[in-house]
Structure 1
Amino acid sequence: MKHRLKSSFLLLTIMLVAFTTMIGNPMPASAAVDVKAKSAILVDADTGKILFEKNADMILPPASMTKMMSEYLVLEAIEEGKIKWDTTTQISDYAYSISANTSFSGVGLTQQKDYTVRELYEAMAINSDNATTITLAELVAGSEGEFVKMMNKKAKEMGLPEAEFVNSTGLHNSDLGDNYPKGTEPDADNLLSARSAALLAYHLINDFPDALEISSIPSTTFDEQQLNNLNWMLPGSEIQDGAFSFDGMDGLKTGWTDTAGYCFTGTSERNGTRLITVVMKTNSEQERFQETRKLMEYGYNQFERKELYPSNHQIKNESTLAVTKGKEDAVEIASAAPLETIIQKGTADQYSVTYNLDQAKFNEDNELTAPVEKGEKVGTIELEYKGDDFGYITDDAPKSQTVDVVTQTAVEKANWFTLSMRSIGEFFSNVFNSVVDTITGWF
């Protein structure tokens, strides 16, 4: 009996230690959620910080997630004044042939009829229509082949190294018959990784926030027919009786082909935190949304946006800078704004800060030269994390990770008499020190 009690006590102690360890050391993100997708990623849309990834660099066909790049280029053309929302265009024979093919996602277009850019964009973004996407590509670039060149050029600008676009829709080129875009191969497919899909979404929603106004529409009317958004997770979606609805979801793009499987780039916002998720090559329409929900819930439950250092923060023993030729010989510095970011809960103590001072502001003796203005920027203060993480989807320094360091007071330049007296004092001080050193050397 004693032996059994002793064994039970030992087992309880081991379990308690293990539980305490888990509380004190948050579980690595890679082990924290099991996502049934060939490739997946979870990203904070504000900073670009990666919160979870699974085979995120695997290159796969993105299917209609390709249309995120088409959307970006259309919105860019509108911003640049090349087209307007109320610009009208008609349907080409090529686009009509795609629209008339019932095996493709299509709204059924009419030739010799004027359609506005707004109508075509909504059909593309809400119902993933292929023919309206081709029509917009032809309007923006003259032909889909030229539009594909724009897509690949923009991919390089965005830093999507493995991205390869061969058409505007995400269909396999073999589906297009003789109409496959000039300059591409007849059996080629678009290629993208989950990481690049997330980065594309990051640019789309940050550069053109209005894209979310359309991607969040559960249903709309096009040519007197109702179009339902293929994103079942939108609040207000009536598909599956709203069973997949997720609070805060407002985008972004679904995709499916035989080779790509079911994929989805999602985005949602709750309490000021926007997340981006990508799942690629899941097994069903339902599964892509179920796995997206796992990622979203993990992100909102395990991470928080937190102010780690307040405005006017000073690093201990580094709160002043030397000043030459001023009425004062030093000036205090501090952060100009709070430092905040999204962190895994329970890891705040693993963050610290460091100064990155602008060396162009200093002389060879590392002094500022008066006059110095109050609030003058002398560098930045950067947030540093001591633990392991997945990094960022963009090479750009995240905006919330670095803020300006500024002077707290002004330092006026000393007048010529004061500067002269200081020079004389320094001269005699140097002479005195030299004499003392000489005499000390005698002994």
Structure 2
Amino acid sequence: MEEGEKTLERNKRPVRLVSAISALLVGLLFTTIIGSTSAYAAAAKDAFTPNSLGLEVQSAILIDADTGQVLYQVAQDEVRPPASMTKMMSEYIVLEEIQQKRIKWDDIVTVTKEAASTPADGSQIYLAEGDKHTVKDLYIAMAVGSANDATVALADHIGGGTEQGFVQKMNDTAKSLGLNSAHFTTATGLLDTTVISAADLAKFARLLLQKHPEFLDYSKIQSYKFRERDKEPMINWNWMLGSNKDVPSFKKFAYEGLDGMKTGYIGAAGYCFTGTAKRGDLRLISVVMGTSTKEARFYETAKLLDYGFNNFEKKTVVAPKTVVKDAETVKINKGVSKTAPIVTANDITFLVKKGAAPQISAPKVTLQTEDKLVAPIKQGQVVGTATYSYKDADTGETIEKKVDLISSENVDKGSWWRLMFRAIGTFFAGLFNGIVDLF
């Protein structure tokens, strides 16, 4: 090898060394990135609560809207921030105020400085101080667009001019409804100091639908143009609405029969959703809390609802007008007859696993006393109750259902003559028994 070539070879060695070191560093960096990503993914997966359905949630629950029966749960009693699902309580209070005639849908609300100053980092309808809008328009903005400023405007209107006045009403309402885990600090749910469990959220959602079924008329609105000058309408954050089946961007999320209720997100809560769907005569309510993305909250909800609709059915265990064993009659005072035949007023139905034969306990019967059942007694008159119990083999939960017991016949009041002879007969029967007891 000539000197020049040797010099060139010597000059190449450092270059090769640098290249080798660079390649090694790139490899280490790539490995670190991949490792970090894997570790992050593993950490995210570890944050989810293990469960048999493979739900990627921190807590969840599925219940029957009719009875409140729990069909599935994951850490249901864990207290967490509900984010904008808080607005369900705000919506409930507005509906209560309207029902009690303290406000009306067409009342004009003047937007306060507090409402107009709502932080811009969340959903809003961009209200300005002094703007005037109807209760109904603001309610729809809250229900459909999850507008924080519209929520605060309504809270100020109902709460004596301040959001905190309304928050006190929220907490008082939660207490009266038995939502023991609930603590509200805002009307919107923007602060992570507002907390509630999935179990109490589902319980509340059921109460809301029972007392104010009109809630669904608003929660299922797909879009709403708040002001005539607005370029675009607000779009419902609930992408799972069954009516979205024909909307290209939401088609993959649309769920048959789903018509409510409320989404939510803040950093401390993750992505959340309280949903409800009805198929046939079965309505279910689900809550998922702490999912990882906007889309995930709907995918996990679909898993829960599918589990409910695919695995449970209603079974009637007692038909209407059934005679209850050992409670076939009830004593009547001053009637043509001394007793009246009684039957169940309606059926008793439980939600059970498909194909299962529910084991129902003997009913607990409570009958009104004779002194309260004074003739005449009308057919269909309530004379007592029977309570049936069913124990879910999977959850261990005992579900009770109470049915009224009614008279199946009219019992007229006895004539004076009849009642007199009955009293005489009762007197001598008592006297005879008293004499027999002496011997």
Q: TM-score range by the shorter chain?
A: 0.7 to 0.9
TM-score with structure 2 length normalisation?
0.78
Q: Does 1:226 align with 2:256?
A: no
Q: Does 1:68 align with 2:88?
A: yes
SS in structure 1 of the partner of residue 118 of structure 2: helix
- Taking every aligned residue pair, what percent have the same amino acid on both sides? 39
Q: Does 1:375 align with 2:375?
A: no
Deviation at 1:92, TM superposition (A): 2.6
Contact 2:352 2:358 in 1 (8 A): no
| 2:242 matched residue in structure 1 | 235
Contact 2:84 2:189 in 1 (8 A): yes
**Compared with structure 1, are the counterparts of its residues 390 and 72 closer, same or farther at alpha carbon in structure 2 (3 Å cutoff)?**
farther
**Compared with structure 1, are the counterparts of its residues 434 and 244 closer, same or farther at alpha carbon in structure 2 (3 Å cutoff)?**
closer
Q: Does 1:129 align with 2:147?
A: yes
Please give the per-residue CA displacement for 1:2-41, whole angstroms capped at 9, x wherever unaligned. Answer: xxxxxxxxxxxxxxxxxxxxxxxxxxxx976332211111
Paired with 1:347 and 1:292, the residues of 2 have a C-alpha distance of 25
More moved, 49-58 vs 308-317: 308-317
Q: 2:174 aligns with which of 139, 142, 155?
A: 155
SS in structure 2 of the partner of residue 89 of structure 1: strand
More moved, 240-249 vs 151-160: 240-249
SS in structure 2 of the partner of residue 242 of structure 1: coil
**Compared with structure 1, are the counterparts of its residues 52 and 436 closer, same or farther at alpha carbon in structure 2 (3 Å cutoff)?**
same
- How many residues are paired up? 383
Amino acid paired to 2:238:
N
Alignment RMSD: 3.0
Contact 1:65 1:170 in 2 (8 A): yes
Q: Does 1:196 align with 2:200?
A: yes
| 1:332 matched residue in structure 2 | 341
More moved, 44-53 vs 80-89: 80-89
Deviation at 1:407, TM superposition (A): 1.8
Instruction: Please give the residue correspondences for 1:46-61 in structure 2 after superposition, counting only pairs within 5 Å.
Output: 46-61=66-81
Deviation at 1:320, TM superposition (A): 2.8
Paired with 2:416 and 2:131, the residues of 1 have a C-alpha distance of 81
Q: 1:258 aligns with which of 253, 260, 267?
A: 267
Q: Does 1:165 align with 2:173?
A: no
SS in structure 2 of the partner of residue 332 of structure 1: strand
Contact 1:381 1:404 in 2 (8 A): yes
Contact 1:46 1:274 in 2 (8 A): yes
| 2:134 matched residue in structure 1 | 116
**Compared with structure 1, are the counterparts of its residues 391 and 68 closer, same or farther at alpha carbon in structure 2 (3 Å cutoff)?**
farther
Contact 1:261 1:282 in 2 (8 A): yes
Contact 1:65 1:255 in 2 (8 A): yes
Paired with 2:420 and 2:96, the residues of 1 have a C-alpha distance of 61
Paired with 1:414 and 1:315, the residues of 2 have a C-alpha distance of 27
Contact 2:78 2:197 in 1 (8 A): yes
| 2:47 matched residue in structure 1 | none
| 2:276 matched residue in structure 1 | 267
Larger RCO (alpha carbons 8 Å, 6+ apart): 1
Please give the per-residue CA displacement for 1:148-171, whole angstroms capped at 9, x wherever unaligned. Answer: 111101110111112110111111
Paired with 1:306 and 1:358, the residues of 2 have a C-alpha distance of 26
Paired with 1:246 and 1:317, the residues of 2 have a C-alpha distance of 47
Contact 2:240 2:250 in 1 (8 A): no
More moved, 159-168 vs 413-422: 413-422
Which structure has the larger Rg? 2
| 1:315 matched residue in structure 2 | 324
Deviation at 1:217, TM superposition (A): 1.1
**Compared with structure 1, are the counterparts of its residues 282 and 326 closer, same or farther at alpha carbon in structure 2 (3 Å cutoff)?**
same
Amino acid paired to 1:106:
Q
Paired with 2:178 and 2:315, the residues of 1 have a C-alpha distance of 29
Contact 1:52 1:390 in 2 (8 A): no
More moved, 208-217 vs 72-81: 72-81
More moved, 280-289 vs 203-212: 203-212
Paired with 1:413 and 1:112, the residues of 2 have a C-alpha distance of 69
Paired with 2:155 and 2:322, the residues of 1 have a C-alpha distance of 50
Paired with 2:381 and 2:86, the residues of 1 have a C-alpha distance of 46
Contact 2:324 2:344 in 1 (8 A): no
Gaps of 5+ in 2: 1-49
Contact 2:123 2:147 in 1 (8 A): yes
**Compared with structure 1, are the counterparts of its residues 35 and 434 closer, same or farther at alpha carbon in structure 2 (3 Å cutoff)?**
same
Contact 1:232 1:239 in 2 (8 A): no
Paired with 2:197 and 2:344, the residues of 1 have a C-alpha distance of 38
Paired with 1:93 and 1:47, the residues of 2 have a C-alpha distance of 43
Please give the per-residue CA displacement for 1:361-383, whole angstroms capped at 9, x wherever unaligned. Answer: 236xxx96655443332101222
Paired with 1:293 and 1:313, the residues of 2 have a C-alpha distance of 39
More moved, 145-154 vs 105-114: 105-114
SS in structure 2 of the partner of residue 56 of structure 1: coil
Paired with 1:143 and 1:213, the residues of 2 have a C-alpha distance of 28
Deviation at 1:435, TM superposition (A): 8.9
| 1:36 matched residue in structure 2 | 56
